[in-house]
Amino acid sequence: MGLFGILVVLAIAAAAAYYVWKGVSGDDAAPTCTAANSMCLTKCRKTAVEAPAMQACQEECRRDLAACNGK
């Protein structure tokens, strides 16, 4: 097996390790209410530039959090 063969085997091993890690870590699981709220607030900071728009976005995040916690 030459250098190319070794690189192919390493690439396959890396891909397999990635999918095993995804399965073990649970990254594809549904986010918790707190995590979803953090993502929402981050989105507000990135998209809203004016104070009223920022406040409205944050209020929507709070309502979503309350609804999520109420489930």
Reported pTM: 0.55
* The total number of structural domains that make up the chain: 1
pLDDT over 80 at 1, yes or no: no
What is the token pair recorded at 44? 């507000």
- Would you say residue 54 lies in a domain? yes
Question: Taking a C-beta distance cutoff of 8 angstroms, is the pair 41, 61 a contact?
Answer: yes
Confidence of residue 7 (pLDDT cuts 50, 70, 90): very high
Closest residue by Cα to residue 39 from 25, 21, 51, 57? 57
- Would you say residue 3 lies in a domain? no
- Would you say residue 5 lies in a domain? no
- Would you say residue 58 lies in a domain? yes
- Would you say residue 25 lies in a domain? no
| Amino acid in position 19 | Y
Of residues 56 and 22, which shows the higher confidence score? 56
Of residues 47 and 63, which shows the higher confidence score? 63
In terms of residue numbers, what domain contains 62?
Answer: 32-71
40 vs 61: CA distance, rounded Å: 6
- Would you say residue 10 lies in a domain? no
pLDDT over 90 at 24, yes or no: no
